Chains A and B, each alone.
Chain A
Amino acid sequence: MSKLKISVSALFMLILLSMFGALASAEEVKLPSNVGTVDNFGDNNTHRTHGNFQNNTNSCANCHSTHNGEDEYLLMKSGEYELCMSCHDGTMGFYNVKAASEAGVMGSHEESASMHNVDSDLAVSAAPGALNNKSTAVFECSSCHNPHGSANDRLLNETVAGKQYGNNYNVTIVGYAETITKLNQVPTGTKAIKLNLVEDPAYAAINSATGLSGLKIYKSNGIYNKPADGLTQAQVYDYKLNYSEFCASCHDDYLKNRENGPRADGVHYTHTTNSTKQGRSCVACHYAHGTDITTLRDTAGNTIADLQTKKGWTEVQAKAYMKDVSKKGSSLKRFTNMAVCWACHQSTHQIANTPGTTNYPNTTDASKYFVPGGDYSGKNLIK
């Protein structure tokens, strides 16, 4: 063979090699993704963890025991709270239930803390106000949230304590009178609760990242008070009323309105808890998860952190002021003590001619009816 032939074939081989090399390096690297990008509603799948289990999943056994279950769902008795908390304790960065959010706090050891105690073997039927709720189940995270996925926002259960609570309603408001008629039950798999969720600016880096099959971290602003985000007034009413129905699946005796006059059950007077109006749903006054000294507010809407920055108070001073002194504890309230009432009612109906007000006993100037230092601007925080 001539030298030329050898060098030509060597060159040819080199060219072929580099072509294969280029092809191989250009081959798309498949990034791991465990779920599809479109959910059951044709929307972007922003929720990649619960439900959407992988074909090789080993997750079932976290909660279910094939041969030694404690109930008909083969559920294991213990470990649910710890399981949820293996991610929701802050170690995933987002959706940390121990950090204060619209739902309040979980697992707090701070002063004035009260919580939905999902790790204490409480019975679901031990809920305050449980009258028709005779559930024998143990109260767990899954009493309210469905780890397999839900049509509702925040994976809120479609059935709570055996009750399918979601309805559509006809709401008529004439002046102060509000008439609410239940139309039909929301079918399973249809959204009964929609919350005002916005992409959380604190996680802008994740939310704007590409290639995450649409993972978005949302911040909840709670229930809707008025039509927004393309919702109709009727939808807003439905979602709001269903939220109270959701809570009342367990706390059923607390669900009251004034359809039958001020004495809902014919005996007791009660604050309305399932009306479409501001301040008349469960979450207007209470957090869903829990409260503590850091989340409680005064009538001005100040937290202890606000008091320290705005008023220059010491932490000790602020805590002593904010401390809940109610005998039954802070009851998951958004405002400390009964400031939750005061925030709404004192600001709209200042009591005239009261000792302690700035112009007592002169009551002619309505703008001076405030208690010295009184500030009721927290009203706008009530949903």
Chain B
Amino acid sequence: MKKRTVYILMSSIVALSVAFFAAIYFFNLESTIKPIVAKVDPSGPPIFTNALYGEFNAPLNKPMDVTKIGEFVYVSDTNNKQVQVFDQSGTSVFKFGKEGTKEGEFKFPYGIAGDKDGNVYVADLYNANISIFDSKGKFLKYFNDKEKLLKSPGGLRIVDKKLYVTDIKANKLFVFNLSGEKLLEIGGAGMEEGKFIAPNAVAVDNDDHIYVTDSGNNRVQVFDKSGKFIKIINGSKDGKGDPTFLNPRGVAVDSKGNVFVVNNLAHNIYAFDKNGKELYELGGMGTENDKLYLPNGLFIDDRDTLFVTDTINQRVSVFY
């Protein structure tokens, strides 16, 4: 090969690389590129990466739910009646809340979610309210439930400026806008489609489908954005057979539309694809790194990282 040809080849490689990275830089494509680069095996099950324990002397006690707001992980540390905040490496950064019924206090902090401004919403099952804190844990106000509908708020998620909350005693799911007006109500006690017994968690996918964990009926029900029943996921084929779920709790959907359901009494997480076909199970009872012991809350972030609260092991396990 002629020297000249080699030079041309080499400089064209350089030129192409520069053009590639320049394009990424000028068109702000980092965020779209990153997940693709970071994913090792996009089709395989997530792998345990680390756990958030909190301080040695002040560990989590019955963590019930978890969410990521900005770069911090917020955990409802239920038996300690507080919220513990972790950075991504698992260091407990700060905590807020104490036992009580007044502003900034909790009796049973449960569902936890963040809005676009980084404010933290915490549902209290016993106090029957949702407290709003700033990202540093300063109490701002109670969520203005205008019709005073909430009796025992449990699962809580905020998606596209809509607040989704399950009411466990009322056996209902409510959807509010952030100023507290009710947009949608689904449920009532029962076993039929669209009815619940003790709904504990809620998730919303990219198609605005609503997933509600119907713990007492051992199933997850899926609704469209207008609240119309679509299907049941309960571990059986088509969701029409006997459930394999045992006290299902946290539910979350990843970017591919895969649905993850925490199976509290079986100590695992079931994953289903978009069509409801079972993909794999994570966890299993135990105290080792990738095991779970009475897991409850589940959150999946925008990079498809799974955060699951592992109540007896007093940690939040991270799967990626």
In this complex, the member of A29, A78, A87, A205 whose beta carbon has the largest number of chain B beta carbons within 10 angstroms is A205
User: Contact residues of B with A, CB < 8 Å?
Assistant: 62, 64, 99, 108, 110, 125-126, 152, 154, 168-171, 188-193, 195, 197-198, 200, 215-219, 232, 234, 236, 240-244, 246-247, 249, 264-266, 285, 293-294, 296, 311-312
Give how many A residues have a beta carbon under 8 Å from the other chain's beta carbons. 38
Stretch at the interface among A88-96, A336-344, A347-355: A88-96
Chain B residues whose CB sits within 8 angstroms of the CB of A203 once the complex forms: 189
| B192 pairs with A211, CB closer than 8 A | yes
Query: Chain B contacts of A99 at CB under 8 A?
Result: 126
Q: Flag if A29 contacts B242 (CB, 8 Å).
A: no
A91 near B312: Cβ-Cβ < 8 Å = no
- Contact flags A34-61 to B (C-beta < 8 A → 1, else 0): 1000000000000000000010111101
The 4 A-B residue pairs whose C-beta atoms are closest, nearest first, are A205-B189, A209-B190, A206-B189, A211-B191
Report yes or no: A210 in contact with B152, Cβ–Cβ below 8 A: no
* Shortest Cβ distance from residue B183 to the other chain A in the assembled complex, whole angstroms: 22
A156 CB, min distance to chain B CBs, angstroms: 23
User: B265: which of A29, A86, A202 is its contact (CB, 8 Å)?
Assistant: A86
Question: What is the 8 Å Cβ interface bit string for chain A, positions 208-223, against chain B (1 contact, 0 not)?
Answer: 0111100100000000
Contact between chains at B191 and A91 (CB < 8 Å): no
Looking at the assembled complex, report how far the CB atom of B98 sits from the nearest CB atom of chain A, in whole angstroms: 11
B192 pairs with A92, CB closer than 8 A = no
Contacts of B190 in A (CB 8 A): 205-206, 209-212
- 10 A-B contacts, Cβ less than 8 Å apart? A29-B193, A31-B192, A32-B217, A32-B219, A32-B242, A91-B168, A92-B168, A93-B198, A202-B169, A203-B189
A205-B241 CB under 8 A given contacts A32-B217, A86-B294: no
Q: Is A83 an interface residue (CB 8 A)?
A: yes
A32: nearest residue on chain B (CB-CB)?
B243
Do residues A91 and B200 form an inter-chain contact, with CB atoms below 8 A? yes
Q: Chain A interface secondary structure, helix, strand, loop or mixed?
A: loop
Q: Does B265 lie within 8 Å of A79, measured CB to CB? A: no
A91 close to B265 (CB less than 8 A):
no
- Which one, A31, A61, A62, A91, contacts B215 given CB within 8 A? A91
Cβ of A109 within 8 Å of any chain B Cβ, yes or no, is: yes
Inter-chain contact B197/A212, CB cutoff 8 Å:
yes
A70 beta carbon closer than 8 Å to chain B:
no
**A93 in contact with B197 (CB, 8 Å):** yes
Which A74-116 residues sit within 8 Å CB-CB of chain B? 78-79, 82-83, 85-87, 89-94, 98-99, 109
B152–A90 touching, CB < 8 Å: yes
A220 CA to B284 CA, complexed, in Å: 37
Which of the residues A87, A92, A205, A212 comes within 8 Å of B191, measured between beta carbons? A212
- Chain A positions within 8 Å of B218 at CB level: 32, 34
